[in-house]
Chains A and B, each alone.
Chain A
Amino acid sequence: MFAVAVITLLVGIFAGLSRLQITVPDISLQFAAFHGPLLISGFFGVVISLERAVAVKTATAYAAPVLNAVGTLLLLLFGIVAGAQLLAIAAATVLTVVSLQLLRKVKADFTVILAGSAACWSIGGMVWWFTNDTARATLLWFAFLIITIAGERLELTRLLGTPQHAKRWCHAIVVTIMIGALGYALVLPGAGTLFSVGLTLLAAWLIRYDLARHNMRQTGMTRYIAACLLSGYGWLGLAGVLGLLGAFVPGSPLRDSALHALGLGFVMAMVFGHALIIFPAIARIKVAYHAAFYIPLALLHGSLALRVAGKVLDITPLQQFGAVANALTFIFFAVVMVWGVRKGRNLSRRPATHG
């Protein structure tokens, strides 16, 4: 499953580059229209449902990543779009049910939010299936990623004793994002703006209440994760502001920048931070932290800034350069991860710890 996720990520990246008239392997060209579905529903669908399955450890939970991986392979190998659509809906529905089942163990708001995020993926899949219009499903798919992160962060803010009024704000923001994304899929006026209000408020909420600010005073991996999170919140806020300026109105020239601020700036920064925890949890291979992890993080943000600047200023070569640099950043991050795994092998011979 992990291999399918990696292949999907690579094809999705090449498909995205091909949309910017950048030369990519021929095989990727046919998937240019599937850049979003491959990366969000395909790649992140497998990764997030696999991550949840590792935690829950039931056969039902593992059905979600398996179904989604099979659906993605049907699209990649045989071009069967309906297979990818239907199996993504099935996988997302399983993830929703599995997340709701967690309420039996811990009755908490963040478990409901995690189930809500999975439901967004499921509804996004249904929109894709019924309309064959990936653009209409895009905000629901992003809501899946954003709300998953919001739920996981809300869970950790308990260490800070988050006051009740702050929690209610978080609940309201999550509902705003969900309604905005759903309204956008239904082509309701103002839905994109509502979604953007949610993004902007969520960025402010996370900067104010998340553990990350406190952990910037720590050292090592803890501070690195906090740096990834805080830098991602900046991009989340920027995506919200671009949305308020009309980025989610169909045909807006800001749309590409807003979506990539979300997908690369916010979501991938979370991935860079948590890969050192999630990869060992899934693959059962220890990854040692090293300060070199800051290099791909800086490259991610720098290349995205060039890409966004290129688009906003209408300088195509700058946008293309930023996009290629973004793609190379993933390869560089993979190299640093492999290095971390090699170092981790030595560490695992000693007792404990991750830190």
Chain B
Amino acid sequence: MSLPPDEITESSIRQVLSQIIDPEVGANIVDMGLIYNIALTPTAVSIEMTMTSPACPMGDMILDDIDQTLRHYLPEGMTHAVNVVWDPPWDPSKMSPSLRERFHLEDPDNIDDLDLEKYLK
């Protein structure tokens, strides 16, 4: 059943997207911090997101699931678009507190995750 137009908010879209699970990780894509930005107009939803790796073939499946889920929940006449970006790159600090707790990730800021960046510049 689609959401009423007055209930289409960034929060409700995040809630809808949190149904999509990455089976490898066992966590939803919102908690994983893959959703960077959600922009809303009265007739369109625009999502900017990332993946944890550009080498993972599962990206298309996740995009298919987002498409399928939004088609189901958005009211008729409302469009949606998803843009996958790699900048800024994903890192563990983007995960939700609950997921960090599940993985016992105490302080992600202490982890220099992309240290290779400085060597390759």
Contacts and interface: CB of A to CB of B under 8 A. Distances in A.
Contacts, number: 141
B37 to A, nearest CB: 18
Interface in A154-203: 155-156, 158-164
B53 interface: yes
B22 interface: yes
Contacts of A159: 25, 27, 32, 52, 92, 95, 99, 103, 105
B35 to A, nearest CB: 14
Contacts of A56: 54-55
Given A107-B116, A112-B116, A218-B26, 10 more contacts: A54-B57, A55-B57, A155-B56, A156-B52, A162-B111, A225-B23, A276-B23, A284-B60, A351-B72, A353-B21
A282 interface: yes
Nearest to A349: B68
Interface of B: 19-27, 32, 52-61, 64-65, 68-69, 71-73, 86, 89, 91-92, 95, 99, 102-108, 111-117, 120
A281 interface: yes
Nearest to B60: A281
Given A160-B105, A354-B61, A354-B65, A105 B24 contact: no
A222 B25 contact: yes
Interface residues of A, number: 52
Contact of B22 (A214, A223, A354): A354
Interface string A329-355: 000000000000000000010011111
Interface of A: 51-52, 54-56, 99, 102-103, 105-112, 114, 151-152, 155-156, 158-164, 211, 214-215, 218, 220-223, 225, 274, 276-278, 280-282, 284, 289, 348, 351-355
Contacts of A107: 89, 114, 116-117, 120
